[in-house]
Structure 1
Amino acid sequence: ILHEKYVYVILHQARVILKTLPNVNHINLSNLHHIFIIGDLHGQLPDLLHIFNMNGLPATDNPYIFNGDFVDRGPNSIEIILLILTAFILYPSSVFLNRGNHEDIMITARYGFQEEINKKYPKCKTQLIDLFKDVFSWLPIYSCVDTGKSNLMIVHGGISNRINLKQINSLVRNRYISIIIPPKSKNIGERLTKDEQDEYLQMADLLWSDPDPQNRSGCRNNDDRYMGCFFGSDITEEFLRKNHFSMIIRSHQVKEKGYDFDHNRKVLTIFSASNYCEGSNCGAFARWDYMIDEPQITSYTLQDINLNEKLNFNKQVTLFEDPVYQTLMKKIVGKKSLLKKEFEKADKNRTNHLSPTVWSDIMKNVLQIDLPWLTLRSKFVKEDAQGVLYNTTIADYALDNTKFQKSQVGIMEDLYMWKDTLMTLFNLIDSDHSGFISRNEFSDVLKLLFYGENSNSDVNQAYIEEIISAMDFDKDGKIDVNEFLGKI
Structure 2
Amino acid sequence: MGCNISSSTKTKRSENVLRAALIIQNWYRGYRARLKTRQRYALTIFQSIEYADEQGQLQLSNFFTFMLENYSHIHERDPEFVNRLFGYALQDKGRQECVGLVDVPDSYTGPRLQFPLTFTDLRLLIEAFKRQQILHARYVLEVLFETKKNLKQMPNFTHVKSSPAKDITICGDLHGKLDDLFLIFYKNGLPSESNSYIFNGDFVDRGKNSIEILMILFVSFLVYPNSLHLNRGNHEDFLMNMRYGFTKEILHKYKLHGKKILQLLEELFAWLPIGTIVDNEVLVIHGGISESTDLNLLYSIKRNKMKSVLMPPTPVDDNYVTDGKKNKIGMARGTKVTTSFSEQLAKHEWEQVITVFSASNYYEEGSNRGAYVKLDFGLVPRFFQYQVTKATCLRPLYQRVHTIETSAIRILKERMISRKSDLINAFQLQDCNKSGKLSVSQWASSMENVLGLNLPWRFLSSHLGTIDKDGNIDYMSCFDDMHIQKPVQEVQSALIETLYRYRPDLQIIFNVIDSDHSGLISMEEFQSMWNLFNSHYNICIDNSQVDELARRMDLNKDGSIDFNEFLKAFYVVHKLDHLNKSDTKNM
**TM superposition score normalised by structure 1:** 0.46
**TM superposition score normalised by structure 2:** 0.39
